[in-house]
């Protein structure tokens, strides 16, 4: 919901830094995998009770996730890079609630519900992208991407805001997780309605 609105604000500085990194030989895939390692490290830190470190690593992951796209735009995007990027994103999104689920037994059920909602949201997102690509649809609302990005109520910006809230208020993890799972479910309904309108033969 907020991703497209933030792009005009964050893209110029990211693109400038991306061009500088590309100029010294840094590749987009290297940033993607480094970011993934940091994000998984953040989830592990949360699981071990080091929530402050977890938050710092989550923020570092998001910075590198923005920079890998900026470097890709500077060097020229690749299909393989787009594949690695989306897989790394979803691995990170799932890892953080799993970390909270390991942290405390009371978090287990809400973590499972949130992960399940992420899976459904991801499936709807990727299925929409495949069919939209098959039909030749294009969009740059989320910047230049390797495949079609459909909009939704729960996107990357909202997810990171939720993760930050979980780290700042860990005692409220269950309530936050359930609430965001509902928003993810509504996103699936919203995207399904968009699909029904866009893909009707």
**pLDDT of 140 higher than 70:** no
CB 76 within 8 A of CB 66: no
When the pLDDT of each residue in the chain is averaged and rounded to a whole number, the result is 87
Q: What is the DSSP-derived secondary structure letter of residue 147?
A: S
- What's the CATH number where 151 sits? 1.20.120.1760
By C-alpha distance, which of 104, 107, 118 is closest to 180?
118
What's the pTM? 0.86
How far apart CA 2 and CA 14 sit, in angstroms, is 17
E strand or H helix at 103: helix 79-103
How far apart CA 126 and CA 61 sit, in angstroms, is 22
- 143 forms bridges with which residues in the sheet? 141
Mean pLDDT of the region 190-196:
87
Number of domains comprising the chain: 1
**pLDDT of 92 higher than 70:** yes
Domain range for 47: 3-198
How far apart CA 95 and CA 88 sit, in angstroms, is 10
Q: Look at residue 142 in the predicted model and tell me its pLDDT.
A: 46
């Amino acid at each position: 919901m907020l991703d497209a609105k933030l792009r005009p604000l964050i893209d110029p500085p990211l693109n400038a830094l991306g061009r500088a990194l590309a100029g010294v030989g840094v590749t987009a895939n290297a940033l993607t995998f480094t970011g993934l390692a940091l994000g998984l490290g953040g989830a592990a830190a949360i699981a071990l009770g080091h929530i402050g470190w977890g938050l710092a690593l989550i923020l570092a992951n998001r910075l590198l996730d923005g920079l890998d796209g900026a470097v890709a735009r500077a060097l020229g995007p690749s299909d393989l890079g787009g594949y690695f990027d989306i897989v790394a994103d979803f691995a990170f999104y799932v890892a953080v609630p799993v970390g909270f689920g390991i942290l405390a037994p009371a978090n287990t059920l809400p973590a499972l519900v949130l992960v399940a909602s992420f899976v459904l949201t991801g499936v709807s997102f990727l299925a929409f992208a495949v069919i939209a690509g098959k039909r030749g649809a294009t969009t740059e609302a989320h910047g230049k991407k390797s495949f079609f990005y459909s909009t939704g109520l729960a996107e990357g910006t909202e997810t990171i805001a939720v993760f930050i809230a979980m780290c700042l208020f860990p005692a409220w993890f269950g309530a936050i997780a359930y609430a965001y799972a509902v928003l993810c479910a509504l996103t699936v309904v919203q995207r399904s309605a968009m699909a029904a309108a866009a893909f009707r033969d």
